[in-house]
Structure 1
C-alpha cells in the first residue's frame, strides 16, 4: 500500500458504478452518467465545485465541450470499500495535447458521493 493509503488494483476491479460513470462520460451520455451520483453528490473539476445532481448534470453536459479528445482508462487504485481512483489518459486538441487525470471517487450506498478530478 502507498503512503496515501491507495493500492493499485486491476481496472476490472473498479466498482460497477465507477465504470458505468466513466463509460457514459466518455461518450457524453449525460442521462446515464448522472444516474451514478447520489442526490447530494459533489464534483470538483478545474477548480470549480458543483453540488447536487442539477449542477452536476449541467457540468456533464458542458464539460470540455470546446475540445475533441479521447480517453483511455490506464490505472486504478483502492484505499478501502468507499475510496477509489481511476487514472484516465486524455489526448486531444486541448492545451498541452495530453494529460493523465486522476478521478478520485468516494462512494456511498453504491453511488458516487464525491468526485474530484485532477492531475
Structure 2
C-alpha cells in the first residue's frame, strides 16, 4: 500500500532525474540509472543505458510539452511513484502519467511510465 508524500520527500536520485528529463539534459538523466536499468514507456521496454539514451533522445524530440509534478507516493524504501500532468502537441494534448520507480542502492533500476 502506498502513502502520499510531499513532493520534496522523493529521493534525490528521482528528483534529479526528473529535473534532467524535463530539461532534456541526457547525461544527468542517465547518471541516475544503474548499468542494467530497464525503462518501459508506451508499451516498449528499453534495457541498459544505451537503449535508455536512445529512448530519451527520441522522446525529447518527438513532441513539445510542459510537465508538472502533481503528486508523489512512497510504496516502500525502494519503490516510489511520481505523477506528472502533461500538456502539449502529443495525441490527446493532455495526460497524467505515473512514473513508477524501483531503486537499487540509490540508483534507478527500473522506471515504468503509464497513465
Shorter-chain TM range is over 0.9
Q: Unpaired segments of 5 or more residues in structure 2?
A: none
Identify the match of residue 63 of structure 2 among 54, 64, 67: 67
Identify the match of residue 103 of structure 2 among 81, 87, 107: 107
Q: TM-score, normalised by structure 2?
A: 0.98
For residue 62 of structure 1, report the CA deviation from its aligned partner.
1.1
Q: TM-score, normalised by structure 1?
A: 0.94
Q: Unpaired segments of 5 or more residues in structure 1?
A: none
- Whole-angstrom CA distance in 1 between matches of 2:14 and 2:78: 11
The structure with the largest helix share of the pair is 2
Number of residue pairs the alignment of both structures matches? 115
Query: 1:79 aligned to 2:56?
Result: no
Question: Where do 4+ consecutive residues of structure 1 move more than 6 Å?
Answer: none
Query: 1:33 aligned to 2:29?
Result: yes
Identify the match of residue 7 of structure 1 among 3, 17, 20: 3
For residue 63 of structure 1, report the CA deviation from its aligned partner.
1.1
For residue 52 of structure 1, report the CA deviation from its aligned partner.
0.5
Give deviations 1:73-116, integer Å, cap 9, x for gaps. Answer: 00000011000000000000111111000000000011000000
- Whole-angstrom CA distance in 2 between matches of 1:29 and 1:16: 16
Q: CA RMSD in A?
A: 0.7
